A and B are shown apart, each in its own frame.
Chain A
Amino acid sequence: MRGGAPGKITAALNTLILPIIMLVSWHIVTHFKICPPTVLPGIPDVIKAFGRQALSGQFFEDLGISLIRVVKGFLIAAVSGVSLGVIMAVSLRTNRFFKAVFEALRQIPTIAIIPLLIIWFGIGETTKVIMIAKSAFFPILLNTISSIRETPGGYLELARIYKLKPLQTYLSIYFPFSIPYLFTGLRLALGAAWTTVVAAEIVASSSGIGYRINDARMLMEPDTVIVGILSIGAVGSLMDKGLVCLEKRITPWLNK
């Protein structure tokens, strides 16, 4: 049953069966009032809440604000993670210089530094961008370092035979070899960035999707809370899918 139309249908069923069970149970539980709507609103209510927010533009405004924060923090993390990763992989001294601090910093959950960041920067953009960058930095840094370290010696011998300069060696050997590792790092980082922005907005913000969830909770609007939660999941998956597609596109040699 592999491949072909019947195989595809079975595979689709296989994937969809759990979500369908969950949606049906949700509907039964709310429709027959087993669960009060103040605790769990029904599916039609959630759809209505989504429609309301979409029409007023509030949904896209929230989403846009959160996404811009993610992009800012993620870009800072990507640029600094890749460049520092390369330098730390090549230079033992730089590696030793940063090692202790980075190891410690990596163990500190981003949530734990929120109070300090609020004292320093208030609840403005800076706090959130720093948090996102911190969460996204380490997956990128660590994957960059291991990609450089694991570059086969044979390829580097080739670089010596053809007398490539350091930058040429990086661009034509290290970098292409590291792309799959890099994408693993970027995917982990993007996931971390997205969860961090929501956490940051719930704790310290007056805008964005995380703020909306928390605000709706205080206004006793569980349907809006659920719209927020579901859209966080959907947008996160979409961004991950986007990275996977991008990787496939720029690494044609890996499509076996």
Chain B
Amino acid sequence: MNHILDVTGLSKSYRVDGMELSVLQDIDLQVEHGECVAIVGNSGCGKSTLLKIIAGLVPYENGQVLCNGRNITGPGTDRGVVFQDHRLLPWLTIAENVGFGLKQTPRARKQQIISDYLKMVNLDGFEKAYPHQLSGGMSQRAAIARALAGAPEILLMDEPFGALDALTRITLQQEMIRIRREQKKTVILITHDIDEAVFLGNRVIIMSERPGRILRTISIELPLERDRASSDFSYYVSRVYKHFFKDRSTNEEYNI
């Protein structure tokens, strides 16, 4: 039992207008300590549902989801979540938002944690600012700080950079690499950005369209710090890419 997260035979369906709609089918997923698993799939493939099940926000009926060997029955402090929208509470300052999950922590310790994590995401000096005064990228950094401040073992990220502009997205991806080097956190990253998945993941998991099944797992045998311009990087990107756009990419080759 070495896996921090162990999903076996997980299926999930919703009832929509009296019809059974299957969203996830026979998901098997084992995640090791310190690993970053990137899950890629089309929108509506159930990847966000999978993340919400792991987060304990959505119940499941079939299969088993174990975190550190224990059944997941609800949210827990061992899992931190970052959503696509930053979800900072507009009435709290950035410091208060980062400390939101630290209700039980003694005051002095809490201040220390808040300032440490704000430094980590390069937001020191913005303690007293309100979320509306921050840019999208800065808000998402604060959201990451909030998720990390609770000292979770697994960081669950649901398309965390999907709403950001391209340049900010790349900056934040690079910062994630730095944070992973400092924190050695296990990360599960949901994304539809192939480049992002290959840049951040130790493994890239490709999901089918609804009902979501795991089609393929690709291990990325690259060092933690990756060069997007390298041929190895492009090799992995194109391998993932071909899973989604097989027909079109062959056509393009003929055209050239």
Chain A residues proximal to chain B, CB less than 8 Å: 154-155, 157-158, 160-164, 168, 172-173, 176-177, 179, 251-253, 256
Contact = CB atoms under 8 A, between A and B. Distances in A.
A176 to B, nearest CB: 4
Interface string B85-113: 10101111000000011010000000000
Interface in B42-77: 55-57, 74-77
Contacts of B87: 154-155, 157-158
A161 B101 CA distance: 9
Contacts of B56: 160-161
A15 to B, nearest CB: 29
Contacts, number: 46
Residue of B77, B91, B101 with most partner-chain A CB within 10 A: B91
Contacts of A162: 75, 100-101, 103, 150
A160 B57 contact: yes
Given A161-B55, A161-B81, A155 B89 contact: yes
B132 interface: yes
A253 B90 contact: yes
Given A160-B75, A253-B132, A176 B91 contact: yes
A253 B56 CA distance: 31
Given A154-B83, A160-B75, A163-B75, A253 B91 contact: yes
Contacts of A172: 89, 100
B130 interface: yes
A256 to B, nearest CB: 6
B89 A158 contact: yes
The 7 A-B residue pairs whose C-beta atoms are closest, nearest first, are A176-B91, A162-B101, A253-B130, A161-B75, A253-B91, A154-B87, A253-B90
Nearest to B90: A253
Nearest to B83: A154
Nearest to A176: B91
